Amino acid sequence: MAISAVVGSAVTRVDGKLKVTGAAQYAVDHPIEGVVFGVPVASTVGSGTIAGIDGSVAEKMPGVLGILHHGNSGPLYRTAGGFEPNSIVSEGRLPFSDNKVYYYGQYVALVVADTFERALDAAAHVKVNYETKKPLTRMSEVTKPLGPAHRKYERGDAEAAFQSAAVKVDGVYVTPTETHNPMEMHATIAVWNGDKVTLYETTQGVVNHQGVMAQVLGLPLENVHVISPFMGSGFGGKLFPWPQSMLAAMAARKLGRPVKVTVPRSLMFSAVGHRPLTEQHIRLGATKDGKLTSIIHEVKNPTSMVDDFMEGATGSTPTMYSCPNVKTAQWIVRLNIGSPMAMRGPGACPGMYGLDSALDDLAIKLNMDPLQIRLKNYAEKDESSGKPYSSKHLRECYEKGAAAIGWDKRTPGVGSMRDGNEILGLGVGTAIWGAYRGGAQARVRLSADGRARVASATQDLGTGTYTVMAVIVADKTGLPVERIDSVLGDSSLPPGPMSGGSTCTATIVPAVAAASVKAIGLVLDLASKTDGSPYKGVDAKTLAMTGGRVHKQGESPESGVAFEKLLQMGNLAALEAEAETGGNPDMRNYSMHTFGAHFVEVGWDPGIARLRVRKTVTVMDAGRIISEKSARNQILGAVVMGLGMGMFEEAYYDKRNAKPLNNNFADYMVPTNADIPEQEVIFLDIPDPVMGEYGARGIGEIGLVGVAPALTMAVYHATGVRVRKLPVRIEQLMGSKNS
Ligand code: MOS
């Protein structure tokens, strides 16, 4: 069946109206009768032991219903880990499990009251005494990393090749601690009914959340119902449950009342994950004409005292560029900070900042064009596995992007391009992200009112999953998108994918397509068997459904009958079909990645020491695009985030108590509208044949990978200053000869 024009068209986000009118219900918006409010008390020390918790003042305050802490709460159980699916938790240590404090902002108590204001007031009156130890907040304070090297990879002899290389780069590249901080803060409303609990959540995985909470609360799976219809995004911070969900459930069970817990903005900087700082030592060896002969990529990142989180920054290094000798290794270091968590483009995003920055340093050394050095080292196949790429059109990304940004007008000299008072700089970065398609179930219902409904226990963190599901049903049934209802964000639906790793679209699309085809098959069968149907007695295999009308194959749809008429004739409210699809077995024979190129133009005005981004151009090779508007939206937003990584974002910790000092949006800088330049996004829109019928690959994360190195190269081109520790700061540029 040919793919129709609705796929990849500019369909308007189907949940858009609900969002802009305020009708969409986020986690805390669900109107729950009798709900009471839990406000966390968080540690004000970075390391130590709780010597005592004095709630005597707080518990007598008006409206206070209870104070939970390690001495009076529980029970909570460990997750099954490898024994059961859907048991991934963010912070391995259960909340309130003992009197130990591992980081500033760790929950030490929860005050529940009848109003939010009363709970907040009472929480401020809980006195916690600590036996305090000096916290570790810098990797330089730790003499030994934890355990042996991880992610070790080697081909050829990278050390020897580096030693004997004609040209060498040896540099340290540092990416900052970044926090996810989505607009919608983490929150949970827990409602018990007997031994069953409903959790109104904001989660990137309702199915995993259900599994984890059942295990932690000691309940059979069906006793936990997770509802998360809309999200104010997550960026990876909401992949897996955090303690606030457990606190809400535990308090609601103890008090016999529905309890709502919201993570305040200040704790969004410590208690719900972050992208850890990376320190990357990179050595490149090359020939005099810029062909890589050696890549050595060694990375250290801090993790918390309670989880071993490794930022997989060397993950793309073995496959990205062509090079016979490659070596990678990673280490983690324990600090008194909250546990890190995957943040949009984890691994590849900081890793490609390091690798592409080192490559640019090589280009500078060789007086080579940054685009040319990337083309010179273009990998035609995956040299880490020897496998062919399923579909790689990165060369076209470079070419189209170069044309759109006007790369041919780039003059190589530092400070050689001007526009009025501004010195211009141009840089390019490469984007790469692994492509994957997993297993999912979906259900499609065709109703006698002429509408279709598609349902799966996946969720839409703002990426467009509602719209993608509707587009696929529209493609198969021929119904307009307006007559299709997408239903998701509910753990009681057929299990669907996580919204993570940029795998959701590629995973849910085949399941929705298969369920649609099955549901259509039921309607054709009905047409062949129902009294009054013009096709009664006709072999269903000779029928088809086009534009929502059942007709004989080879005849026009107008000659047929609308599917809802057939359902009405049969006195059926609806026909519904469910399908389950998995990965494509052929995937294992290929190296599967999404690719792209970012071009950044900056303007540096030395007279007023102002750096700004003037334009970005991004070209994406992401397979077939299913929903053009939501895909473009993903890339636009990710590029803005990449500029944030390059120019603004950095969380930093007080040495005395490990407090994230800039734990608010006044001090933690993110790009604002005034920082967002002209952005252009181009999709190659070439289907990946190994991904299956539609050939769509993921798109949620790759837009961030490669932005920061393109930016720092543009900054160098304008100012002559190489920034190897993000974010770029004006003071680093002030001393440049072009200041
Ligand atoms: Mo993504 S960091 O897997 O939400």
**ω into 727 cis (within 30 of 0):** yes
pLDDT at 144: 83
Query: Could you tell me the two tokens for 406?
Result: 């006007």
Placement of tokens 């029970």 in the chain: 75
Single-letter amino acid code for the residue at 488: L
**HSE value, Cβ hemisphere, 13 Å, CA-based, for 141:** 12
Average pLDDT of the chain to the nearest whole number: 97
| Helix or strand holding residue 196 (H, E) | strand 196-201
CA of 683 to the centre of ligand 1 (A): 21
Give the confidence band of 505 by pLDDT, cuts at 50, 70, 90: very high
Over residues 101-139, the pLDDT tens digits come to 999 999 999 999 999 999 999 999 999 999 999 999 999
Over residues 491-503, the pLDDT tens digits come to 999 999 999 999 9
Q: Which residue is catalytic, options 298, 678, 701, 731? A: 701
Strands 452-455 and 196-201: unpaired
For residues 200 and 236, the answer to whether their CB atoms sit within 8 Å is: no
DSSP string, 560-619: SEEHHHHHHHTT-SEEEEEEEE---GGGGGSB-EEEEEEEEEEEEETTTTEEEEEEEEEE
**HSE value, Cβ hemisphere, 13 Å, CA-based, for 6:** 18
Evaluate if residue 726 carries a pLDDT over 90.
Answer: yes
CA of 89 to the centre of ligand 1 (A): 14
DSSP string, 222-288: GGEEEE----S--TTTTSS--HHHHHHHHHHHHHTS-EEEE--GGGGGTSS--BPPEEEEEEEEE-T
Of the candidates 558, 575, 627, 579, the one whose C-alpha atom is nearest the C-alpha of residue 450 is 575
**HSE value, Cβ hemisphere, 13 Å, CA-based, for 562:** 10
Over residues 406-456, the pLDDT tens digits come to 999 999 999 999 999 999 999 999 999 999 999 999 999 999 999 999 999
- Nearest ligand 1 atom to alpha carbon 239: 4
Looking at residue 712, what DSSP letter applies? H
For residues 684 and 653, the answer to whether their CB atoms sit within 8 Å is: no
Give the confidence band of 320 by pLDDT, cuts at 50, 70, 90: very high
Evaluate if residue 143 carries a pLDDT over 90.
Answer: no
Q: Is 471 in the pocket of ligand 1 (CB under 6 A)?
A: no
Over residues 43-64, the pLDDT tens digits come to 999 999 999 999 999 999 999 9
CA of 675 to the centre of ligand 1 (A): 25
Q: Is 204 in the pocket of ligand 1 (CB under 6 A)?
A: yes
pLDDT at 146: 83
Evaluate if residue 307 carries a pLDDT over 60.
Answer: yes
Share of the chain above pLDDT 90, in %: 97
Over residues 148-165, the pLDDT tens digits come to 889 899 999 999 999 999
For residues 36 and 112, the answer to whether their CB atoms sit within 8 Å is: yes
pLDDT at 737: 65
pLDDT at 52: 97
**HSE value, Cβ hemisphere, 13 Å, CA-based, for 14:** 24
Evaluate if residue 739 carries a pLDDT over 60.
Answer: no
Helices 465-477 and 628-647: crossing angle in degrees, nearest 10, is 160
For residues 38 and 112, the answer to whether their CB atoms sit within 8 Å is: yes
Give the confidence band of 511 by pLDDT, cuts at 50, 70, 90: very high
Averaged pLDDT, 679-706: 97
Query: Could you tell me the two tokens for 500?
Result: 């993570």
Chain centroid to Cα 630, Å, comes to: 15
Evaluate if residue 649 carries a pLDDT over 60.
Answer: yes
Mutate to test the pocket of ligand 1, among 272, 341, 344, 507 (most ligand atoms within 8 A of CB): 344
Which residue would you say has higher pLDDT here, 69 or 83? Answer: 69
- Active-site residue, 396 included: no
Cα dist from 502 to 341, 471, 699, whole Å: 16, 18, 6
Q: Using CA positions, which residue lies closest to atom 4 of ligand 1?
A: 236
Evaluate if residue 145 carries a pLDDT over 90.
Answer: no
Q: Is 348 in the pocket of ligand 1 (CB under 6 A)?
A: no
Q: Is 182 in the pocket of ligand 1 (CB under 6 A)?
A: no
Of the candidates 267, 336, 307, the one whose C-alpha atom is nearest the C-alpha of residue 93 is 307
DSSP string, 345-375: STTHHHHHHHHHHHHHHHHHHHT--HHHHHH
Helix (H, G, I), strand (E, B) or coil at 120: helix
Of the candidates 514, 467, 593, 456, the one whose C-alpha atom is nearest the C-alpha of residue 8 is 467
CA of 343 to the centre of ligand 1 (A): 6
Long-range (24+ apart) CB contacts under 8 A made by 416-419 are: 417/717, 417/718, 419/603
For residues 149 and 331, the answer to whether their CB atoms sit within 8 Å is: yes
Measure the CA–CA gap between 624 and 621, rounded to whole angstroms.
9
Single-letter amino acid code for the residue at 63: G
Query: Could you tell me the two tokens for 711?
Result: 């930016």
pLDDT at 738: 66
Query: Could you tell me the two tokens for 512?
Result: 């929705």
Measure the CA–CA gap between 646 and 553, rounded to whole angstroms.
57
Evaluate if residue 175 carries a pLDDT over 60.
Answer: yes
Q: What are phi and psi of 661, to 5 degrees?
A: -65, -35
Q: Is 366 in the pocket of ligand 1 (CB under 6 A)?
A: no
Mutate to test the pocket of ligand 1, among 181, 203, 238, 239 (most ligand atoms within 8 A of CB): 239
Helix (H, G, I), strand (E, B) or coil at 302: strand
| Helix or strand holding residue 544 (H, E) | strand 543-546
pLDDT at 473: 98
For residues 716 and 360, the answer to whether their CB atoms sit within 8 Å is: yes
Single-letter amino acid code for the residue at 629: K
Strands 107-113 and 36-42: antiparallel
Of the candidates 246, 590, 547, the one whose C-alpha atom is nearest the C-alpha of residue 391 is 590
Give the confidence band of 147 by pLDDT, cuts at 50, 70, 90: confident
CA of 700 to the centre of ligand 1 (A): 8
List, in order, residues 6 or more apart from 667 with CB less than 8 Å away.
661
Measure the CA–CA gap between 394 and 378, rounded to whole angstroms.
9
Over residues 456-485, the pLDDT tens digits come to 999 999 999 999 999 999 999 999 999 999
Q: What are phi and psi of 282, to 5 degrees?
A: -125, 130
- Nearest ligand 1 atom to alpha carbon 236: 4
- Nearest ligand 1 atom to alpha carbon 344: 2
Give the confidence band of 605 by pLDDT, cuts at 50, 70, 90: very high
Query: Could you tell me the two tokens for 420?
Result: 């009025």
Other C-beta atoms lying within 10 Å of the C-beta of residue 102: 23
Chain centroid to Cα 609, Å, comes to: 34
- Nearest ligand 1 atom to alpha carbon 342: 2
Beta bridge partners of 129: 52
Cα dist from 154 to 173, 317, 319, 359, whole Å: 21, 11, 12, 19
Averaged pLDDT, 224-232: 98
Q: Is 441 in the pocket of ligand 1 (CB under 6 A)?
A: no
Over residues 177-200, the pLDDT tens digits come to 999 999 999 999 999 999 999 999
Give the confidence band of 559 by pLDDT, cuts at 50, 70, 90: very high
Q: Is 342 in the pocket of ligand 1 (CB under 6 A)?
A: yes
Evaluate if residue 585 carries a pLDDT over 60.
Answer: yes
Evaluate if residue 11 carries a pLDDT over 60.
Answer: yes
List, in order, residues 6 or more apart from 534 with CB less than 8 Å away.
527, 560, 561
For residues 378 and 395, the answer to whether their CB atoms sit within 8 Å is: yes
Share of the chain above pLDDT 70, in %: 100
CA of 500 to the centre of ligand 1 (A): 4
pLDDT at 735: 74
Chain centroid to Cα 698, Å, comes to: 11
For residues 603 and 378, the answer to whether their CB atoms sit within 8 Å is: no
Measure the CA–CA gap between 127 and 441, rounded to whole angstroms.
50
CA of 496 to the centre of ligand 1 (A): 16
Measure the CA–CA gap between 509 and 498, rounded to whole angstroms.
13
Cα dist from 492 to 324, 457, 489, whole Å: 50, 7, 9
